[in-house]
Amino acid sequence: MKLNPSFRYMFINPSYLCSYQSPNRSHMKLLLRYTFLPLLTGLLIFFVTCLLSPSQIPGMPEGLPWDKLVHFGMFFSLSAISLYDYYRMHKGNPAFLRWMGWGFLLPVLYGGVIELMQKYFFASRSAEWGDWIADLLGSLCATLIIIIFFRKQRFYRKNISL
């Protein structure tokens, strides 16, 4: 029986199972080296924003929206680390849209998911639009600073005359 080509993806071809090749070890080391710190930062953010109860968080002086500043700082750090490591992983020449996707869009979406999880799954926490906006602004500021930093760095490398 001959299958329509559009349905072939649904069936396992035994030759694929026999021709497995192990990934290149140096590629795996490189991937681990440049994704470890962003993943660790993301896990730390999840722990602080979802698993700690408000009673475990120290009180801060009145007057400043400390909660929003903490959200800004956490997502600034996550985006900056992600953008920097992605840039280094691609040896200073990442595809711009992918770089922005991993360094800006993914942290912003992660912040939104965390807020939704706080609303629906963690009774001791509450979701606020202001927290997500602070996450977005932190990621945006980190993205702009990293882009400016690497563009200046590239400009200075190109214009060095010895």
List C-alpha distances in Å: 55 to 58, 59, 102, 124: 8, 9, 33, 9
User: What pLDDT does residue 4 have?
Assistant: 57
How confident is residue 113, by pLDDT bands cut at 50, 70 and 90?
very high
**pTM of full prediction above 0.95:** no
- Among 35, 150, 42, 44, which Cα is nearest to 85's? 35
Sign of the dihedral defined by the CA atoms of residues 83, 38, 68, 125, in that order: positive
Predicted confidence (pLDDT) at residue 5 exceeds the cutoff of 60: no
What's the CA gap between 162 and 145, in Å, rounded? 29
> Hey, where are the domains in the chain?
33-54+62-158
Q: Identify the sign of the CA torsion 126, 128, 131, 135.
A: positive
Q: What is the pLDDT of residue 86?
A: 92
Q: Per residue in 17-70, pLDDT tens?
A: 444 455 567 777 877 888 889 999 999 999 988 887 766 677 767 777 788 899
**Average pLDDT of the chain?**
82
User: Around 74, how many Cα atoms within 13 Å sit in the side-chain half-sphere?
Assistant: 27
